[in-house]
Amino acid sequence: MIQLKEIGEDNFYEVIGLKVHDTQEKFVAPNVRSIAECWLYRENGDTFPYAVYKGDEMVGFLLLDLDAEERKYMIWRMMIDECHQGKGYGRELVEHVIEMARSDDGYDVLIADYVTGNEAMEKLLRTLGFEESGFEEEVNEVVMTLDIQSPLL
């Protein structure tokens, strides 16, 4: 089972050392940038970076952004380290976030996006029931939305 752990002194350097395949670098920002952006937006109190573990082994990174006013959970960034791809961890991670969002009564939708050309992320989101809901032209990202009030597929 996937577990999320806060990022601290004990795992910070391991998180920023995680990497995707060279061919995927254009699809996700480096983790150090994501953590820096969390620091920039820390006063909002709604951005949460996590190290992703399978058992005792770190396999990825997740950045959640919660908007209680608009009742939206958002997967702002996620990545699975190149050494752990192809094992179903990405799917398991998104399913875990879906369950987190569903168990939090204050939210109605889960939003995720992908950079155009990231076919693996597009397929993952579509197979989990996400539907296209917009396009962010300035960053070339397709926005996908899942109604978390409906049952899991």
Going by C-alpha positions, the residue among 96, 135, 84, 94 that lies closest to residue 114 is 135
DSSP letters, 69-99, are TTTEEEEEEEEE-GGGTTSSHHHHHHHHHHH
Task: Give the confidence band of 151 by pLDDT, cuts at 50, 70, 90.
Answer: low
Asked if 94 and 75 touch (Cβ cutoff 8 Å), the reply is yes
Reported as a single tens digit per residue, the pLDDT across 12-56 is 999 999 999 999 999 999 999 999 998 888 787 789 999 999 999
Four-point Cα dihedral 71, 109, 144, 121, nearest 10:
110
Q: For residue 74, what are the CA distances in angstroms to 3, 36, 49, 65, 109?
A: 18, 18, 12, 5, 8
pTM: 0.91
Dist CA 90 CA 79 (whole Å): 8
Reported as a single tens digit per residue, the pLDDT across 60-113 is 999 999 998 889 999 999 999 999 999 999 999 999 999 999 998 889 999 999
Dist CA 133 CA 104 (whole Å): 22
Asked if 146 and 110 touch (Cβ cutoff 8 Å), the reply is yes
Which tokens belong to 4? 């999320």
Q: Which domains does the chain have, with CATH numbers?
A: 2-147 (3.40.630.30)
